[in-house]
Amino acid sequence: MIQWVSQSESDLDGYRIYRNSANSLENSLMLDAFFAGTNTTQTQTYTYFDKEELSNGVYYYWIQMIDYDGTNSFYGPAPVEINNEYDNSVAIPLVNGIAAIYPNPFNPVTTIRYSKITNAKTIIELYNLRGQRVKLIDPGYQEKGFYNVVWNGTDQNGNNVASGIYFTRITIGNTVDMKKIVLMK
């Protein structure tokens, strides 16, 4: 997954992604992906998933920003290490709790990934620094495994919350886990 954020855009045609197995933009492969620019003063988050099966090693990614007048800029490289052990077994969770929150800091959305070693009811709550609950996400009863939920930075009524620090609290059966998350606008 390659993710980037633009703070504002003007006269932007869009973005292209390049990949190479060497840390060199020269001879890199332009991937079959084009992201049209939004040309807004609002922050935008873009995400690209490279679904090509790659051999073990380090790969380098660049983002090309292309303006309507044809000028362009490259950003990167972003190195990614691939280590396929060709293990066909399913990943087994080791604990009840939050596995990752990404991106963090975030704007406007973030993904909360959690794991469950037991079949149990799950509740996810987001709190502000005052200890006030701003959002309740109730996936209900789930079997053991890995799960993702997305938070779009809104409260229970659908209103955007303010920039700042929030706490993600997940309750799985009798187990409680908590992690800090930062919303930056």
87 lies in a domain?
no
Residues 74 and 106 in one domain: no
Number of domains in the chain: 2
171 lies in a domain?
yes
Record the pTM: 0.53
What's the pLDDT score for residue 89?
A: 46
Residues 61 and 117 in one domain: no
What's the pLDDT score for residue 44?
A: 81
39 lies in a domain?
yes
Residues of the chain with pLDDT under 50: 87-89
What's the pLDDT score for residue 85?
A: 61
90 lies in a domain?
no
Residue 50's CATH number: 2.60.40.10
pLDDT digits (tens, 9 = 90+) for 2-55: 888 887 888 999 999 999 999 999 999 999 889 898 888 887 888 888 888 888
Domain span at residue 171 reads 97-183
- Count other C-beta atoms under 10 Å from residue 6's C-beta: 16
Residues 36 and 73 in one domain: yes
Residues 105 and 78 in one domain: no
3-state secondary structure 110-133: EEEEEEECCCEEEEEEEECCCCCE
